């Protein structure tokens, strides 16, 4: 087979174009864009194998042992987002991507097999910038509403995935009750020792080292997790997070009411936004969650392209999902009460249908840029041969 990197002056027939082998460096670049996807606490729960004209995406089920990652939902969403980025980049490269989800069945680590063929001319080129610029923005946003046309575009792109849909609420009057739902879910989060310790484990409190020329030299341990400054909590927030590192301190602080700082900050950030969205699925399976992940990345990139910022608000959907999938035993009765109250408010204000399973809530709006981004593992660290994975 011919390689697309070679410049043949001969005019090719459509079939000849499709039969070209795809250069390894093109597939590598597609993987690099996959790696730019969001993941819960930036754990990057994925691996990739490059084959002839194909890439296999694997989930790393050991990457995220957080209480949030119930039945791998957070990691499957992340894999769906990585898959979407790769499909987007195929378009940019003039390739046609054929995706097979869970080729060996759910429960296996092979999430997707993507086969590429030359399709002719590059498409959707502006998406490349959106994938690279997309990030989680935890700053306060402008309260001006997001254009209804943009929401409708996001609704349409979400429902392209079977069994997946987007609900949204951009009206100002509804922000306070929705802020209350985020506050309640965050109250449950900050009261749990396991979640507190997990957050403190994935945060990097040290500054990123710089070389003599002032360039960042990113150590491997910074390539997953989040730098403290990525929380965009300001000087006081940074001091608060540093002083609450130990659970024993947080426990005492909670006794004196200082544990409310994070839930209040979360609630405030909902009020200070241009709208709230919620991605739901109609049935629960690993396949539908990966599909939801694809839809989420499309929504996120679409917002980025339109100049809007996004922050996931995962606590309510993921904790509620845990109660549905695993029962209530892992929660205190007072926490269950808070989650039910939060869910009831969300049901009402987002018109969540009774058969919907919410998986990803977010706020969006105009915002200043984040001042500290997260990093990614090196591509070589995430490449495996199919037998290794």
Ligand X SMILES: Cc1cc2nc3c(=O)[nH]c(=O)nc-3n(C[C@H](O)[C@H](O)[C@H](O)COP(=O)(O)O)c2cc1C
Residues that bind ligand X (CB under 6 A): 38-42, 74, 77-78, 135-136, 138, 226, 311-315, 374
CA–CA distance, 279 with 159 (Å, rounded to integer): 10
- Tell me the closest approach of the beta carbon of residue 360 to ligand X, in angstroms: 6
- Tell me the closest approach of the beta carbon of residue 137 to ligand X, in angstroms: 8
- Tell me the closest approach of the beta carbon of residue 41 to ligand X, in angstroms: 5
Strand partners, 166: 279
- Tell me the closest approach of the beta carbon of residue 258 to ligand X, in angstroms: 20
CA dihedral (85, 89, 92, 96) positive or negative: negative
- Tell me the closest approach of the beta carbon of residue 77 to ligand X, in angstroms: 4
- Tell me the closest approach of the beta carbon of residue 227 to ligand X, in angstroms: 10
86: Cβ contacts below 8 Å, ≥ 6 apart:
30, 31, 33, 34, 55, 57, 97, 114
- Closest to ligand X by CB, 20 vs 42, is 42
- Closest to ligand X by CB, 95 vs 280, is 280
Q: Exposed, middle or buried, 385 (CB in 10 Å: 0-12/13-18/19+)?
A: exposed
- Closest to ligand X by CB, 40 vs 259, is 40
- Tell me the closest approach of the beta carbon of residue 166 to ligand X, in angstroms: 15
The alpha carbon of 106 is separated from its chain's Cα centroid by a whole number of angstroms, namely: 21
- Closest to ligand X by CB, 99 vs 231, is 231
- Closest to ligand X by CB, 116 vs 300, is 300
- Closest to ligand X by CB, 95 vs 231, is 231
Closest CA to 384 of 40, 37, 46: 46
- Closest to ligand X by CB, 188 vs 314, is 314
Which residue, judged by CB position, is nearest to ligand X in the bound state?
38
């Amino acid at each position: 087979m011919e390689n697309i990197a070679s410049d043949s002056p001969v005019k090719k027939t459509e079939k000849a174009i499709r039969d070209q082998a795809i250069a390894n460096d093109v597939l590598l670049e597609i993987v690099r864009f996959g790696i730019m996807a969001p993941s819960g606490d930036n754990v990057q729960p994925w691996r990739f194998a490059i084959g002839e004209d194909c890439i296999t995406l694997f989930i790393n089920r050991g990457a995220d042992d957080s209480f949030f990652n119930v039945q791998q939902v957070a990691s499957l969403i992340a894999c769906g987002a990585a898959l979407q980025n790769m499909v987007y980049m195929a378009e940019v490269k003039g390739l046609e991507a054929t995706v097979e989800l869970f080729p060996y069945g759910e429960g296996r680590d092979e999430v997707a097999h993507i086969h590429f063929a030359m399709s002719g001319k590059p498409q959707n080129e502006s998406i490349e910038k959106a994938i690279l610029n997309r990030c989680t923005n935890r700053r306060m946003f402008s309260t001006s509403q997001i254009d209804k046309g943009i929401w409708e575009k996001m609704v349409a792109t979400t429902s392209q995935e079977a069994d997946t849909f987007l609900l949204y609420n951009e009206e100002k009057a509804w922000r306070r009750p929705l802020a209350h739902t985020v506050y309640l879910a965050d109250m449950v989060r900050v009261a749990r020792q396991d979640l507190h310790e997990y957050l403190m484990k994935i945060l990097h409190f040290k500054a990123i080292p710089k070389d003599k020329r002032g360039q960042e030299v990113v150590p491997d341990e910074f390539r997953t997790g989040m730098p403290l400054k990525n929380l965009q909590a300001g000087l006081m927030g940074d001091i608060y997070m540093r002083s609450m590192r130990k659970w024993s301190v947080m426990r005492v602080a909670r006794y004196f009411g200082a544990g409310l700082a994070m839930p209040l900050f979360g609630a405030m950030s909902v009020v200070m936004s241009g709208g709230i969205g919620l991605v739901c699925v109609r049935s629960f399976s690993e396949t539908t969650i990966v599909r939801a992940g694809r839809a989420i990345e499309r929504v996120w990139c679409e917002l980025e392209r339109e100049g809007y910022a996004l922050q996931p608000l995962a606590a309510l959907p993921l904790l509620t999902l845990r109660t549905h999938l695993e029962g209530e035993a892992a929660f205190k009765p007072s926490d269950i009460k808070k989650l039910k109250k939060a869910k009831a408010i969300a049901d009402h204000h987002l018109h969540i249908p009774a058969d919907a399973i919410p998986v990803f809530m977010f706020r969006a709006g105009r915002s200043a840029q984040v001042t500290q981004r997260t990093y990614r593992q090196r591509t070589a660290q995430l490449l495996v041969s199919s037998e290794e994975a």
